[in-house]
Structure 1
Amino acid sequence: MVDALLDRGARVRALVRDPQSGRAQALAARGVELAAIRADDPASLAAALTAVEAFSFMTPEANSLDEVEAEIRIGTALVDAAVAARVPHVVFHSVIGADRERGVPHHDSKHWIEEHLRKSGLRATMVRPAPFMEVMAPSVEHGEIVLRLPMPEDAALKMISVRDIGRVAAALLLDTAEAPGGAVELVADELTGPQIAAAFGAHAGLPARYEALPLSVLPNELDRMMFRQFAEAAEHPSDLTVVRSIEPATLDLVEWIRATGWTAPTTVAGS
């Protein structure tokens, strides 16, 4: 999102825990103002948000129930700080499906943060990204593109690129666009596993196949619950025009493969 804001000439202030870290210094080198914060210090959070015209935030992705509770605490603290600083507009990076509780703890946490933000009285916009195109990682086996995901073969996975999440969020933050009803699900494409594999295969000029994996291959129950939700979401097709009404240059998967210059892995599995 920083890229999108800087491209639009916006002044950017980043809230960071360690201003001397490599990532923070890289931002500073690009002209981003750094504000040191502590998540457990409300005063530092409110001070960091003083005099900003808008505030966009996301919470750390949780991988355990303890981390889910920590995520909710951080999100709540950031909303409260925005209230204290009287921020005119807040954009929260949530997750697809967070309009209600769905029984996936590390997605429901974002729903609860959304609810806290709604009750805060602040002007708020929720952006709810689908899974990232960047996580698609097909391999090459015996001269064939192979994609494996823990998704049924006939279930269409909703997707969007990280670049386009940033562009849409920046447009909303800078008020060059609006989200209908104050929330938008960020879906740029939805394709089944075989269709995703075929898109990579066509670009590489190789045959392609898809293998649906069992949920048991996932490392924890949170991830298994998440992929069950992705499969259930496939039963409800998205309106792909919504995101493009905000960012017309949003990429579908074929366009993303081409735009990123994706190439098939050079190490051939199984050879």
Structure 2
Amino acid sequence: MNPRTTGTIAVFGATGQQGGAVVDALLDHKARVRALVRDPRSDRAQALAARGVELAAVRADDPASVATALAAVEGFSFMTPEANSLQEVEAEIRIGTTLIDAAVEAGVPHVVFNSVFGADRERGVPHHDSKHSIEEYLRKSGLRASMVRATAFMENFASVLAPSLEHGEIVLRLPLPEDVALKMISVRDVGRVAAALLLDTAEAPGGVIELVGDELTGPQIAAAFGARAGLPARYEALPLSVLPSDLDKVMFQEFAKAAEYPSDPAVVRSIEPATLDLAEWIRATNWTAPADVAVS
């Protein structure tokens, strides 16, 4: 990918997971990156500086500081903290609108917002509703804008959704019916797609791209991990009642509903041909089976 945008790209959220992936992808293409951070002295900010990233101190409640940090940039990538309650929804929307207002004041040529799959439909899920509001505000701002809507992260299978090894068998348990396909994307590819848009080597159709790298049912996901481990695998669909909070229950209900909406991974691959499917992500992350719980 040869960048057509050669000026500085600003990234808000650069010390986080998604923003960090955007920075990684931009640096891979030798782009000049300015990270908008709360504390330039933090370890994560200093790690970015060590890689050649320019640091700009901003306050999310101070539009002037953000507008100053966005001066003369050619692109701006931002994501907002995930809202888990009504109060956090309101706070997330305030941050989003502040960033958009600052981009308008600075005359940023192109803004890319890391949103979430389904944000075009208000659905009663806090972090969907907040991003829906931010998307709408961005559309009305007059800025050239692109929305990248992420689905479930494959990285969850390395942590909260990790399969187990039980009596020599890979076991995956999710509160998702076994005939429902989960839409997934790797965080790495969220960054790569956003970078392609920011560098003007690709465009999002209609200003929106829904990020789906793979779409598999629970049994298919389990089989992918079993194939990697060279072991038999099985899937167990759990009831929503096992989840610790109402928010978690609503989120998994949304994962199930998302399967009803069509998606086309080919659109993502037209922008980033090396987009990982789940089997490729498993290999790329060098996933290995955990210790067998049957072994004392």
For 1:121, the equivalent position in structure 2 comes to 142
Q: Indicate the residue corresponding to 2:82 in structure 1.
A: 61
Partner of 2:152: 131
Give yes or no for the alignment of 1:268 onto 2:268.
no
- Partner AA of 2:29 in structure 1: R
Question: Take 1:206 and 1:40, find their aligned partners in 2: how far apart are those partners?
Answer: 52
Could you tell me whether the CA contact under 8 Å between 1:106 and 1:222 is conserved in 2?
no
2:83·2:130 contact (CA, 8 Å) conserved in 1? no
Structure 1 counterpart of 2:90, one-letter code: E
User: TM-score with structure 1 length normalisation?
Assistant: 0.97
Following superposition of structure 1 onto structure 2, how do residues 39-188 of structure 1 map, counting pairs within 5 Å?
A: 39-136=60-157, 137-188=162-213
Deviations along 1:124-175, one digit per CA (max 9) or x if unpaired, are 0000011001101111111111111111111000001011111011000110
Letter in 1 for 2:293: A
Structure 2: 5+ residue stretches without partners: 1-21
Two-structure CA RMSD over aligned residues (Å): 1.0
Residue 217 of structure 1 aligns with an amino acid whose one-letter code is V
Does the 8 Å contact 2:84/2:126 carry over to 1? Answer: no
Contact 2:75 2:111 in 1 (8 A): yes
CA distance in 1, matches of 2:242, 2:91: 26
Change (3 A) 1:76 1:219: farther
For 2:205, the aligned partner's letter is P
Among all aligned residue pairs of Structure 1 and Structure 2, give the percentage whose two residues are the same amino acid.
Answer: 81
Q: TM-score, normalised by structure 2?
A: 0.89
Aligned pair count reads 270
1:192 paired residue number: 217
Deviation at 1:270, TM superposition (A): 4.0
Is there any run of 5+ residues in structure 1 with no aligned partner, and where?
Answer: none
SS at match of 1:185: strand
Is the 1:37–1:48 Cα contact (8 Å) retained in structure 2? yes
Structure 2 SS opposite 1:94: strand
2:30, 2:79 → 1: CA distance?
22
Q: Is the 8 A contact 2:214 2:278 kept in 1?
A: yes
Give, in whole Å, the separation in 2 of the partners of 1:257 and 1:128.
22
